[in-house]
Amino acid sequence: MSDELERIRGKLQAFIEDCHPAAEGLEIQGLRRVTGGLSRENWPFDARWSESGRPVQRELIMRRDPVGSVLETDRRIEFGVLRALGGSRIPCPRVDWLDADGRFMDRPSIVMQRFGGTNDHFVLEGGISQLPLDARLSLARRYCETLAELHLFDWRAAGVGDLLPDPGRDAARAAIDEWEASLWRQTDDPRPELVEVLCWLRDRAPESQATVLVHGDFKPGNSLLDGAELQVMLDWETVHLGDPIEDIGWVTNPLRRREHRIPGHWEPEDLIAHYRDRTGFEVDPAEVHFWNVFACLKLNTILLTGVRSFREGRADRPWSDDGSLARLMFQMIGAA
């Protein structure tokens, strides 16, 4: 492992020196690989250098595409969007350097600001933080308001339109097309259950009321907390332009619902009401249901991306699909 670590450290040093030639005497310390996140390798480190005679010290993290990922996404988009969001009120990491084609790091990588704090998937229902109810309610509203702020972000003015296609009112159909294509890239194993779900989705694709910046994987598990305060939203790999209700469908889908609710105090209807107040967007229950089903299809595709990585000997864990997601989708579309 130490040889591997030294190899990565050398590559990282060359990468940063190339991106930031003003850094003199760059030293990388404390580099290590940490667990967490299925779609990217995470390598935190501290960097020190001298710039115009002044010492600089930064806490950074290098996020690199793994050999076998569960997501097919483009680091250039993630980097560009995070740059565009810099200076907004949306809590996101400052990105420093991009190795888009893996020229330095072997695989596409981003170096960005590192945050301390707690990653607590189930903070709202208690989790490891065990915050009091009023703090959890405040945090639940804060998550919702962050999502609302993201959806109200003026992406056109920030130049995001140069990075991402605007699907317009056909965002739902574009999303189905994109994820169906991704699904069949992962497997040539016939999946009639998923064909049935795709037909159901195509019959019900709603028209978007607006095009917004969609996070794509918004959840407490993709954030860091400082006590009861939200510090930063992470994992912007699936950010795209689309229908605002897509993110609402993601956070209220049955598989994610537990992460976003405080039983008896903050239910999906509370989240939706607060979101509606903050954004002014209409939230049609039929549209939310459509996006709930879509969220599960997307999760199934992500799972099959992992299965493909495993079958090709590129994964570090034995991914398999036991059909439980398809079964859930069948229940949701009234076919089971």
Partner 1 sequence: MQPGIAELLAGIREILERVIAPGLDDPYRATQLRGVGETLAALESRWPRELPRLMRENDEFAALLSDARPVLANLSGAPPDDERAAAVSPPEDPSAYPDLARLEARNRELRRLVSETIRALHAAPPDPERDALRTRIRNLLAATLRRRAGD
**Given the structure tokens 């009112």, which residue do they identify?**
169
CB 303, min distance to partner 1, A? 13
| DSSP per-residue codes, 6-21 | HHHHHHHHHHHHHH-T
CB 317, min distance to partner 1, A? 4
In angstroms, rounded to a whole number, what is the distance separating the alpha carbons of residues 120 and 187?
33
Residue number with CB closer to partner 1 (55 or 192): 192
In angstroms, rounded to a whole number, what is the distance separating the alpha carbons of residues 137 and 134?
5
CA neighbours within 13 Å on the CB side: how many for 219?
22
CB 331, min distance to partner 1, A? 8
**Widest Cα–Cα separation across the chain:** 69
CB 182, min distance to partner 1, A? 17
Residue number with CB closer to partner 1 (314 or 327): 327
In angstroms, rounded to a whole number, what is the distance separating the alpha carbons of residues 11 and 62?
11
Residue number with CB closer to partner 1 (172 or 326): 326
Which residues contact partner 1 by CB under 8 A? 1, 33-35, 189-193, 195-196, 199, 202, 316-318, 320, 322-324, 326-327, 330, 335-336
CB 63, min distance to partner 1, A? 15
Residue number with CB closer to partner 1 (133 or 335): 335
Q: Which two tokens stand for residue 257?
A: 């619902």
Residue type, 195: V
Residue number with CB closer to partner 1 (63 or 261): 63
